[in-house]
């Protein structure tokens, strides 16, 4: 049997009556997905979360380690933008993880995501901002 032939929702939990009632209440919207799909969803969440942490760390590093630029406050603005982007991405990662998990439980198609497009466009814009800042620097 190949992985692609496995349906995401083929297992169910059984346990004591009390445990079963709690699980039934918690899982009223569907059944347990195959653990491989759940773990893949978690790995994707962790990858987004690592990216968010890197953006936040980059924001702190810019403010603390980069020498002053020609425009006053540019480093703080850049640091704030990176930090806010990291916080927004961490929130989006949690929401995406929950939506995918719920879709797998209901055996629905996975919901589309705009996270890669938003992140890519945001970082391209931020890169253009940094290039303008660096080009405006006078050579030492």
Identify the three-state secondary structure at position 63: helix
Residue 69 counted as domain residue: yes
Domain assignment present for 28:
no
Q: 39-61 in b/e burial notation, b at 16+ Cβ within 10 A?
A: ebbeeebeebbebbeebbebbee
Is the Cβ–Cβ distance between 32 and 105 less than 8 Å? yes
CB 104 within 8 A of CB 37: yes
pTM score of the predicted model: 0.74
Return the pLDDT at 137.
82
Position 15 scores a pLDDT of 47
Q: Is the pLDDT of residue 2 over 90?
A: no
Range of the domain at 85: 34-135
Residue 2 lies in a domain: no
Angstrom distance (rounded) from CA 136 to CA 36: 51
In a domain, 6, yes or no: no
Q: 89 Cβ partners below 8 Å, 6+ apart?
A: 48, 51, 52, 55, 115, 119
62 part of a folded domain: yes
In a domain, 4, yes or no: no
- The two tokens of residue 131 are 């290039």
pLDDT higher than threshold 60 for residue 107: yes
Q: How many domains, the chain?
A: 1
pLDDT tens readout for residues 55-101: 999 999 999 999 888 888 999 999 999 999 999 999 999 999 999 99
């Amino acid at each position: 049997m190949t992985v692609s032939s496995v349906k995401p929702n083929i297992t169910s939990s059984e346990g004591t009556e009390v445990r079963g009632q709690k699980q039934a209440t918690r899982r009223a919207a569907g059944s347990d997905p195959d653990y491989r799909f759940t773990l893949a969803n978690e790995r994707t969440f962790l990858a987004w979360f690592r990216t968010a942490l890197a953006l936040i760390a980059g924001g702190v590093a810019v403010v603390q380690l980069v020498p002053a630029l020609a425009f006053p406050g540019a480093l703080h603005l850049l640091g704030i933008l990176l930090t806010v982007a990291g916080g927004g991405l961490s929130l989006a990662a949690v929401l995406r993880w929950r939506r995918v998990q719920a879709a797998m439980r209901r055996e629905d198609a996975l919901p589309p995501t705009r996270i890669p497009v938003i992140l890519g466009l945001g970082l391209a814009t931020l890169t253009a901002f940094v290039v303008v800042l660096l080009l405006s620097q006078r050579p030492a």
